[in-house]
Structures are given as C-alpha cells and as structure tokens.
Structure 1
Amino acid sequence: MTQFETEMQDVKSELINMWDLVLLQLSKAKESMLNFDKDLAREVVLKEKRVNALEIKIDRDCENIFALYCPVAIDLRFLLAVLKINNNLERIGDIAEGIAKYIVDSPVKYNMEILEAAGVIKMFEDSISIFTDTRVAFEFENTLLARTIFSRDDILDEINKKADDNILKFIIKDPGVIKQSLYILSIIRKLERVGDQSKNIAEEIIFYVEAKVLKHQ
C-alpha cells in the first residue's frame, strides 16, 4: 500500500470513529431523556468538545492530502465527500448536545404519555437507525442503502408536522405541562434535523461512489 493509500484509509477510519462517537452521543441523549438522567446528559454535553476536535483534525488531514497529492477522480470525490460529511457529523453532535441540555435544564421528568403521543420515542429510534445506516453505507460504499435514507427521512418530517397538534391536546387538558411541552417540541425539531443531516450524508455517499450529484433535484 502506498503512502497516499495509507493516508486515505486513515482519513476513512477517522471519519468512521467520529461517526461512532456521534452515534453514541445520540444514543446517550435518548437514554438520558427516557430516564431523566441528568448526569448522563451532562456527559453528552462535555463530550461534544471531543466531537469538535475530531472535526478539526479530519479537516486538516484532508487539506494535507490535497496539498501533497492533488488527488483526482474517485479519490477527489472521496475527500470532498469526507469534508462535507465531517461537517454533517459535527452538526448532529451539536444536536445531541442540544437535546442533552434540555434534559439538564428541565425541572421535571418528561411525561411519558406526551413523549409517546408526540412520536418523540419513535422519532429518536428512527433517527438513530437512519444515522446508523448512513455509516454502514459509507463504510461499505452501499449506495442502495444510502438511497433508503430519503424516504425514511420523510417519516421524521411527518412526525414533526403533527407534533404541534398532538402536544396541544395535552396542554389544553393540563396547562401545567406547557413548559415541558416546549422542551419536547424543541427535541422534535432537533431530531427532524438529524434526518436532514443524514439525508445530506446519503447524497455525499452517492456522489463519492457513483459520481452523481443529487442536491437540488
């Protein structure tokens, strides 16, 4: 294996490591919400610094490869995709941190009935599943799996659209749940963005592997 090939493989490994870290952040954010575990939520907030550090390192490593080797064709597409996916991963890390902060700031445990009725639990599970599959699609260059992300993101969008009406029913019945309902709505908005970021990642995987640009189509 040449030095160039070694460095390209190192970049791929670094990105997958970052993927795993962000996935763990999302999973811990979900667990902290369900169990109202503020200590776990604080751990997610603290580890966001590690996500940020990884993003900077991956960017710099890509820049060094550009400067040293002037890659072309699929190697060029790979590095361009890595740079964009790296940014998407960092944003999903921010989303996990934001959700964790809602757990830390909330004075009361979230009402499980509201979480289920609003679709938050399903949304969390689907978001994590979608994000996990983008990782698999990237690692194994599986564009068929990447293409499934688009329709699965539509499900998250639909839950988001119905959330206001679903939560309003609880607020009308008991105005005392207004504050936690606002937190829950904010969590839903953030999870919807996990779907958007995952969709962006899927587009980059297809661009890298098949040289097809899907943005704005």
Structure 2
Amino acid sequence: MVDSARNYRRLNPRRRSSSLPSSSSSSSSSAPSSLSGIIRTLAQETARGGPTVLWRGLGSTLWRDVPFSAVYFDGYEGLKRLMTGGGLGEGNASNHTAEFGISFASGSISGSAAALLTQPFDVIKTRLQTEARVGGRSSESPSASGTTSSIRTSRASAQSRSTFVVAREIFAKEGSAGLFKGLSPRIAKVAPACGVMIASFEVVGRALASRE
C-alpha cells in the first residue's frame, strides 16, 4: 500500500509539494507532514479506484521479493564462505572491522546480483501501479476526449492484467531493455543497503556473543 502511495505521489508532484512543509516551518514537522501526505494519497486513490487499487502490483512484488531474498542470502553465504572459509555466524574474521568489511562486500555484491535478476519484476510492478493513474489523470484533464466511462475502463483493465501479460507487452514494445529500465539507480540503492544491513547484523551479533 505504501509503495503504491509513493508511486502515485511521484506522478503528482504538485499534490506532493503541497503536503510538504514550507521552508519557514520547523524540521520537526516534516515527518508528520510526510506521513499525513501518504495517508491522504491512500485515501484519495481508494476513493478513485476502490480499495483493491492499494494492492495493485502485489503479484509482481512477490515475484520480485521472494527470489530476491533467496538469491541475496544464498549469495551472501557463498561469498562470505569464499572470503573467509566460513559462513553466517561462524565469525572467522579476525576482528569487528574485518567482519564488517567482509560482510558489507558480500552483502553488497549479492544484493546487486539479486537486484539484477529481479529487475524485470520491479519494472512490471511499477507499471501496474502507475499506468492506470496516468491514464485516469489524462482522461480527467479538460483537453482530453476521454469520459468517466473510459477512466473506469482504463482502471479495470489495469487491475485485471497479470504480471506476465505486462511483461509480454513491455518486451513487444521496448525489447528486453525495457524490462531492465532503472537498473542502475536500483542497484545504487540496493547494494549499500544490503551491505550495511547484513554487516550490522553480523557485527552486533558477534559483539553480543562475545559478551556471553
């Protein structure tokens, strides 16, 4: 639901900016304002397309996240074993700094590989979550020739399309490159996040174990 709201807000920067605090407001108000903006967006999109709109793209999200986790954790285990001769929790690094570095490198590389392999499903998820909103918004503009009926048809069509139907459409129109759009920024986000997450887990776990 929150992911859908985030994509809708990206499509409507005017609405998003209106929900953000002005430069004269305190920084402490930014978090509540962002939260209220997300809640307001969820309510608006539910009113437009019904409650099911909040779960649009769920299938492709699962197709993305389940294989991602499998590739990420299995790849992490293999890389760390290759680097140290041990796996998760075996603590073969000489100290906390070495543990963090090895875990960060293994996590970043395996996270990047997982992002590469699952990128098509991320593209499909985003298309499913945004295409009906784009269609609906263009149809609602004064210059558009669409009617309320066409808006509803567009939304219904988007909701009924499956992950692999959208994949075939993207491949037919844009080729294989279309299924990997946005790969670079996604890896730029995923690689450090995966590295920091697993490295922090390893170091904290080792520190706690050494105190027992």
Please give the range of the TM-score, normalised by the shorter of the 2 chains: under 0.3
The structure with the largest alpha-carbon Rg is: 2
Q: Which has the higher helix share?
A: 1
Q: Structure 2 length normalisation: TM-score?
A: 0.28
Q: Structure 1 length normalisation: TM-score?
A: 0.27
